[in-house]
Chain A
Amino acid sequence: MRLEHVSHQFDGQLVLNDINLHVSPGECIAIVGPSGSGKSTLLYILGLLRKPDQGTFSMNEQDVFDLDEEKRRLLRLHEVGFVFQQAHLIPYLTVLEQLDLIQENKDADAKQLLVKLGLEHRLHHLPTTLSGGEKQRVAVARALINSPQLILADEPTASLDYENGRRVMELLSQQAHREGRSVVVITHDERMLDVCDRVLRVIDGTLTEVNS
């Protein structure tokens, strides 16, 4: 997954300035930076939700913004997994049904995935009966169910206490290290950075590496 010379403006202001980023399979990177620095815009571009004004974004050597809207939607569904700050689960679907709804390959074992995430006792529960940490783990499971190449997480621990947040971050990091996926996490919580391979900082639209 590669971003090259990506720039983007919003309301006449340059929010991303000549960004270059390469994330390899099996790599987990964290992006940090102050509010308004351009982190989320970067994530929306990586998630194919926003087309940059300049530059290219390629997955498997293909520029994804050359694709039409429907193909980008399918790419999001199959190759990109999202985890957001809030779980935003469908209130009238059980944990298992949340995954069934977006599961493309019906042979994949949603139950097994939920067991891996420690949710075996919650398969048939509605979101209203889950704790915040459990909801976020369901959101992680939803992001993983179609075995995407790329997992994007936007402050996934923001609404969780330290222990639950740590568990979610470790889950994401395992996806990179054990399953060979590319994981990009935006976070404000510096205590969570050690689970990632690299930390990048966005300041005034530019990206700099903090450590390796």
Chain B
Amino acid sequence: MQLGWKEMWRQKRKFSMLFVITLMIVMLTTLITGLADGLAYDNGSALHELNVSTYRLDKDSDGQLTRSFLDVPTDASTETMSVRPLTVTIDGKKEEVTLFALPSGSKIGPVEGLQKGEVVFDSSLSENVKIGDTLTDFVSAYDFTIAGEALGRYSHGPVLYTTNETWFDYLRYSEQRPYVSAVIGAHDSASDTLTMSQQEIIESVPGYSAEQSTFTMMRAFLLVIGTFILTAFFYLFTLQKLPELGILKAIGLSPRIIGQALLFQVIVIVSSAVAASIAIMYIADAVIPSSMPFIVDIGHVSLFGSMFIILSILGAFLPLWKLRQIDAIEIIGGKAS
């Protein structure tokens, strides 16, 4: 390892260049991870924030709460929730929102203490909305009164939280058949319903899976490209050093010492690049405007960082193999006589 460290220390320019290239590749991967996590959160944060583990939906809903229409349970103790996209007007301007109706007596979401007709809004709805303002459903002309503020986004749009009492009042007012979107916390599934976990519900949000799989593919490609570049660099470095390494082999120095030095360098460079990129992510998180969906999920970033380190170590086996193949005689200066 000392051999590897001395080489890095005394050939700073060469290894700094390699570090910068590695850092840029890792940063690209981690920034995309931050963006993917931000978009994932933006797509389903309202569901993330709900204290619900199991949902029972309409069998034909494809797991989408907005497509699920269940009869209102007759048992009053059964907890339900309803989700519906609405177009509301604020000072004559139309905005797309998603209404989340939750049981008022429970601590599932931020609806405790709300009176009939009152809603809690996500601040991304509009900067001009304040408590006491009225939002009007464009289709039914039902008025919702703003009573509070809480984070919550669904399918990249703001959420209005309200109580089931307001929900049924809204349906009555707009002369619609009463229904609920899901029975929550229920484990006994009827044949005409679909039981889903919170994660499954989030993954069923429109566009969520397509969005995340695109990012996953990008990250996978970046990992592979990064590994190739790093392997190519270390392979070229090894080729440059063949005369000296050939002499050491002829002298009888264990190839393990040379191999350990190379592995040490790969691990140090990639690990430092991963650590630096995580630090840069935190800085980016602080300076990026809040309107841009970006989240530092240290678990996710560490996972991709670890994968990069592991792939780079695997990539280092190519130059290691080259080291083993060195023909000392050829390097010393001749094939036979």
Contact = CB atoms under 8 A, between A and B. Distances in A.
A73 B336 CA distance: 20
Given A40-B334, A49-B329, A154-B332, A77 B244 contact: no
B55 to A, nearest CB: 62
Contacts of A44: 329, 332
A61 to B, nearest CB: 21
Interface string A67-79: 0000001111110
Contact of A77 (B253, B336, B337): B253
Contact of B328 (A49, A74, A86, A126): A49
Interface string A184-207: 000000000000000000000000
Given A38-B337, A74-B252, A92 B247 contact: no
Contacts of A37: 337
A93 B245 CA distance: 13
Nearest to B240: A91
Contacts of B10: 92, 126
A91 B251 contact: no
Contacts of B130: none
Nearest to B9: A92
B243 interface: yes
Contacts of B335: 10
A50 interface: yes
Contacts of B328: 49
A102 B337 contact: no
A101 B253 CA distance: 8
Contacts of B3: 93, 101
A15 B252 contact: no
Interface SS, B side: helix
8 contacts: A41-B337, A73-B254, A76-B252, A77-B252, A85-B333, A88-B244, A91-B11, A154-B332
A154 B251 CA distance: 13
A92 B3 CA distance: 9
A142 interface: yes
A84 interface: yes
Contact of B336 (A40, A88, A101, A126): A40
A153 to B, nearest CB: 12
A73 B247 CA distance: 13
Interface in A85-101: 85-86, 88-93, 97, 101
B336 A10 contact: yes
Given A50-B329, A88-B244, A11 B251 contact: no
Nearest to B327: A49
Interface of A: 10-11, 15, 35-41, 44, 47, 49-50, 73-78, 80, 82, 84-86, 88-93, 97, 101-102, 126, 142, 154
Contacts of B246: 88
B255 to A, nearest CB: 9
A36 B334 CA distance: 10
Given A88-B247, A102-B253, 16 more contacts: A10-B336, A11-B336, A15-B337, A35-B337, A38-B337, A40-B337, A41-B336, A49-B329, A76-B252, A90-B248, A93-B3, A93-B6, A101-B3, A101-B248, A102-B251, A102-B252
A188 B92 CA distance: 100
A76 B251 contact: yes
Contacts of A50: 329
A49 B249 CA distance: 10
A145 B248 CA distance: 14
A39 B337 contact: yes
Interface string B296-337: 000000000000000000000000000000001100111111
Interface in B248-276: 248, 250-254, 257
B244 A102 contact: no
B7 interface: yes
A90 B245 CA distance: 8
B189 to A, nearest CB: 66
A47 B246 CA distance: 14
Nearest to A50: B329
A36 B335 CA distance: 10
Nearest to B14: A92
A128 B107 CA distance: 73
